[in-house]
A and B are shown apart, each in its own frame.
Chain A
Amino acid sequence: MTLPIVQIRNVHKTFHMGSVKVEALRGVSFEISAGEYISIMGPSGCGKSTLLNLLGCLDRPTVGHYLLGGQDVSGMDDDSLSAIRGSRLGFIFQSYNLIQQLTVLENIEIPLYYQDRPEAECRELASKLAARVGLSHRLGHKPFELSGGQQQRVAIARALVNDPLVILADEPTGNLDSASGVEILEIFDELNAQGKTLILVTHDAAVGKRARRTLRLRDGEIEHDVRH
């Protein structure tokens, strides 16, 4: 088999709040192979967001190693991490996180913008992905003119535009009504069927079930890791 694209080795994350130490992650280890669809679940405060931030290279582990596509990113400087986020990762947030003054098309282009891709190429790729999430007719609209489900679809297109190794989603259906939520999850299923690697944080059991593997956290440790 191919090498796992995500390797987390004995990762600890400690936050210092004044004199108080908060151990958000305490020795977490796991691997994710290409094409996996994995959900991270657990009660509030168990360290899900912390783990996702590490996986997303937005933060660095206090102890331990994180290998993304075989490359150790745990000790990288800020610029290199930015470059990795822009080229190898796709982010989907609970509150969509679109930039309000930009159009749908421009929002989708952002990751390419920081990759210095030629403008025409950006435009072409972005409109292709907008079509893929069914928003070709909304390219010039601003985010506030769209429904929550549509906004999240823009965010998905944006997460796909740089053809990332891994797509990270933090409670992607948390702000949506159930119908829109199902739509989004169906897109995820489709993406996974096309071979995309998805990591999804949720506390919704129904959402977690759709993934083919679940990582359950408790107090900063992996409680269990099941495939289904």
Chain B
Amino acid sequence: MSVTNRHIHGIRLPGGLSVARLRRAVRLGIRSLWLHRLRSLLTVLGIVFGVCSVISMLAIGEGASYEAQEQIKSLGSQNIILRSVKPPDSEKVSNQGRQSYVLQYGITYADVGRIRATIPGVTVILPARNIRDYVWNITRRVDCEMIGTVPWYPAMRNHRVVSGRFFTQDEMERQASVCVLGAEMVPRLFPIKSPLGRHVRVAGDYYQVIGVMEARGGAGETEGGAEQKDKSAACRMFIPLETVKLRYGEVLMRRRSGSFEAERVQLHELTVKVASLDEVINVAGAIRAVMERNHKNKDYQIDVPLEMLRRAERTKDIFNIVLGSIAAISLLVGGIGIMNIMLASVTERTREIGIRRALGARRRDIVVQFLVETVLLSGIGGIMGVLLGITIPLIVSHVAGMKTIITLWSPLLAFSISALVGVIFGIYPAVRAANMDPVEALRNE
């Protein structure tokens, strides 16, 4: 007899149960389950699917909300974004007015002045004018959204320059003909050589390429609703705001169902940066008030990324609660299935219980024997569910190209709940087995 073995035998668990006895009970339980492996497998399926669905649904949900949140965050959580929107009731007027009508709407330079003057807590303001046109490199052509903006655009919008540089204050003041391309355009306009230092043409004007911006949001096409709600192109090119003013003035002509339509829009977009995160909501309220007072018809739209983020988080919380309830129900159903089988097993093994009791098993030894089986069943089901639940998101992200995130806590939680279900639903059959009268149990055929 080895010393360690004696030592192990000396250890007692609560309830006067020795480690050795528990170890044997586990071995016995595994054997008994293996003896009825098909039955065990079928019994455990409820738990397997319960655990699996929790983990995979959480992973898919987490992935989706992560992507949404990343998109929102990329707008800058300290930013408030105002956009010019064509007011809905102006459509009719413009249709009647036909060619000669010039539609005026949107955010104005006066708005910029008012916001800067009246609202404290605003640090930086980023105006932008967007013009849609074809951009050419000799014979190659790309439909593009040209954004006339200011030098601090990349910093404020968390949009990095990947090669070259953004234009400077000096270039803007000089109304220089320089441009920074969006990464999406590069392969289409300059498939072979680097675009840096080369020129692109828009209508009759040439711009020298001085930098390239990173692609937005991974996949250029599936960009978040808030960022590019309207018909804008996937391709973007950045030009100094003053240059755009010089080249295009404020009246834009658009071809529309055979006729021309003119629009006068001073600024298409305005990004306001708030000094501290805590003030974002208040400042957004103040801006809304200022804008409402000065724009009788709603020709603008205000997006607050922080608010969108909060909403997305709330949505995620609700999603998790719903998911949690579904998981709880499916685990409950799985637990009832296990209990049902264990009750049948207790009846089937009445004789064995009687024999064990006659040969010295205490009630709690019988409880442990059956409880161990139930916990093993649900534990094995839990492990199978975890494995399956980790695999499914991997397959989904591989096949459907969706982002999935498996957080560490979700398999842990799902597994411990399934083990807990085993204990809870195992107690009743086990206690019933233990409370059998040994004499009666032995008489059982």
Binding site for B on A (CB under 8 A): 53, 56, 58-59, 78-79, 82-83, 85-87, 91, 93, 97-99, 101, 110-111, 113-116, 118-121, 158, 162
Contacts and interface: CB of A to CB of B under 8 A. Distances in A.
12 contacts: A59-B439, A79-B362, A82-B357, A85-B358, A85-B359, A87-B360, A91-B359, A111-B360, A114-B356, A118-B1, A118-B5, A120-B1
Given A86-B359, A97-B442, A121-B1, A114 B18 contact: no
A101 B32 CA distance: 8
Interface of B: 1, 5-6, 9, 18, 20-21, 24, 31-32, 35, 351-352, 354-365, 438-439, 442
The 8 closest A-B pairs by CB, nearest first: A86-B360, A114-B360, A82-B362, A111-B359, A110-B359, A116-B18, A97-B355, A58-B438
B439 A53 contact: yes
B92 to A, nearest CB: 85
A225 B32 CA distance: 47
Contacts of B438: 58
A116 B439 contact: no
A162 B5 CA distance: 20
B358 A58 contact: yes
Contacts, number: 77
A118 B6 contact: yes
Contacts of A78: 362-363
Contacts of B1: 118, 120-121
Contacts of B356: 99, 110, 114
A119 B360 contact: no
B369 to A, nearest CB: 11
A97 B360 contact: no
A87 B358 CA distance: 11
B358 A79 contact: no
Contacts of A158: 359
A111 B1 CA distance: 20
Contact of A114 (B9, B362, B442): B362
A56 B361 contact: no
Given A59-B439, A113-B24, A82 B360 contact: yes
Contacts of A86: 359-361
Interface-central residue, B1, B18, B357, B359, by most chain A CB under 10 Å: B359
Contacts of A110: 355-356, 359-360
Nearest to B362: A82
Nearest to B32: A101
B360 A83 contact: yes
Contacts of A98: 355
Nearest to B18: A116
Nearest to B360: A86
B8 to A, nearest CB: 9
Nearest to A120: B1
B20 to A, nearest CB: 6
A83 B362 contact: yes
A96 B344 CA distance: 24
A25 B406 CA distance: 69
A110 B358 CA distance: 10
A121 B351 CA distance: 27
Contact of B359 (A114, A116, A121): A114
B24 A99 contact: no
Q: By CB atoms of chain A within 10 A, which of B5, B9, B355, B364 has the most?
A: B355
B362 A116 contact: no
A115 B35 contact: no
Given A97-B442, A101-B31, A115 B5 contact: no
Contacts of A114: 21, 356, 359-362, 365
B304 to A, nearest CB: 68
Contacts of B9: 116, 118
